[in-house]
């Protein structure tokens, strides 16, 4: 259900697929701005939830001198 301005006015159901089936994680009510959370989420990594930003890893790569000389021949 949506308001005249296009805002959602119904509760939003939040789901996660677990073992091929959707499991309800909770509901969000936009009119009261309340989140009802059941705590049944599963993370498929021992590290917990995925990061919410990009991880940048810098590393140095080296090339043997023979490889850099070969194209110039």
Highest mean pLDDT: which range of 2-6, 32-36, 40-44:
32-36
Please, what is the end-to-end C-alpha distance for the chain in angstroms?
Answer: 70
Would you place residue 54 in the very low, low, confident or very high pLDDT band (cuts 50, 70, 90)? confident
Please work out, in degrees rounded to the nearest 5, the angle formed at the alpha carbon of residue 62 by the alpha carbons of 58 and 68: 140
- What mean pLDDT do residues 23-46 have? 90
Q: What confidence score (pLDDT) does residue 7 get? A: 80
Q: Each residue of 37-51: b (16+ CB within 10 Å) or e? A: eeeeeeeeeeeeeee
Residue 23's contacts (CB-CB under 8 Å, 6 or more residues apart) are 15, 16, 17, 40
**Is the full-model pTM beyond 0.75?**
no
Q: Residue 65: what are its φ and ψ, rounded to 5°?
A: -55, -40
């Amino acid at each position: 259900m949506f308001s005249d301005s296009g805002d959602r006015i119904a509760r939003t159901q939040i789901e996660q697929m677990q073992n091929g089936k959707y499991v309800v994680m909770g509901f969000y009510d936009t009119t009261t701005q309340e989140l009802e959370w059941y705590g049944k989420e599963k993370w498929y990594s021992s590290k917990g939830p995925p990061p919410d930003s990009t991880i940048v890893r810098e590393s140095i790569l080296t090339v043997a001198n023979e490889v850099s000389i070969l194209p110039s021949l």
